[in-house]
Amino acid sequence: MHIGELAERTGLSLRTLRHYDEVGLVSASGRTEGGFRLYTQGDYDRLILIRRMKPLGFTLEEMAELLQVIDTMADEPDAATREALERFLAEAEERRARLQQQLAMADEFITLLETHR
């Protein structure tokens, strides 16, 4: 698919997709004869994973590391790769717990404000 279709399907801007390409996070799988970027379903899947990491506050470097871990898991994962995946999973769970706490505090705050209506 072309970059415009990918942007529409992922909800990411063209600028973001180009930036991810520049930093090596998700590169186009090919190019047309005219030089336009072409993306595959696999590229789409990687971008969706990145979109899920972003709200949890993972950096671009951490995203790249996880993508490499996932690529290695698809091949012949060693113990270090499995451990890296487990670390990412634990970190994601911790970040989710912090977000849940923030949501609970926001709910309490809203309830307090509603009592002053």
pLDDT digits (tens, 9 = 90+) for 39-52: 999 999 999 999 99
- pLDDT-derived band at 65 (thresholds 50, 70, 90) equals very high
Given a contact cutoff of 8 angstroms between Cβ atoms, the answer to whether 50 and 63 are in contact is: yes
pLDDT band of residue 24 (cuts 50, 70, 90) is very high
Residue 36 is encoded by which pair of tokens?
């336009």
**CATH says 3-114 is which class?**
mainly alpha
